[in-house]
Structure 1
């Protein structure tokens, strides 16, 4: 694998990891802001919790995929 291909692989993995980090941030901060401001209706609490968990699981999957992309690096 050439140097250019290695750099492209690292950029792809970095992008995927950044998206995973953003997903975690949105999944956790969004509901907390809604609770703090009182804009979240009480009956939707479990929906928000389940969607937050889905976001966290999605972020974990993206992070693992980024690690898999990095495993393609060669010397």
Structure 2
């Protein structure tokens, strides 16, 4: 692979990993901060927050695995 292709693969994998980090932050941390500050609507159930957080974690894992597979395309 040429150096430009290697860098493109690295940047793409880095982007996917950054998006997965943002996803984990948005799905796990933000709802609980909203609950503690009282900015979350009162009729929001804890189960819906937990379910959406679980979905966010699953999505983050998938994005991270895609980034790892993308980096796996590089030759040693």
Report the TM-score, using the length of structure 2 for normalisation: 0.89
What is the root-mean-square deviation of aligned Cα atoms in Å? 1.3
**CA 1:69–1:37 in structure 2 vs 1: closer, same or farther (change >3 Å)?**
same
Aligned counterparts, 1:17-32, within 5 A: 17-32=17-32
The runs of at least 4 consecutive aligned structure 1 residues that moved more than 6 Å come to none
Ranges in structure 1 where 5+ consecutive residues have no aligned partner:
none
The number of residues matched between the two structures is 75
| Deviations, residues 20-64 of structure 1 (Å, cap 9, x unaligned) | 000001111211112102233255210011001100110000000
Aligned counterparts, 1:1-75, within 5 A: 1-40=1-40, 41=42, 43-75=44-76
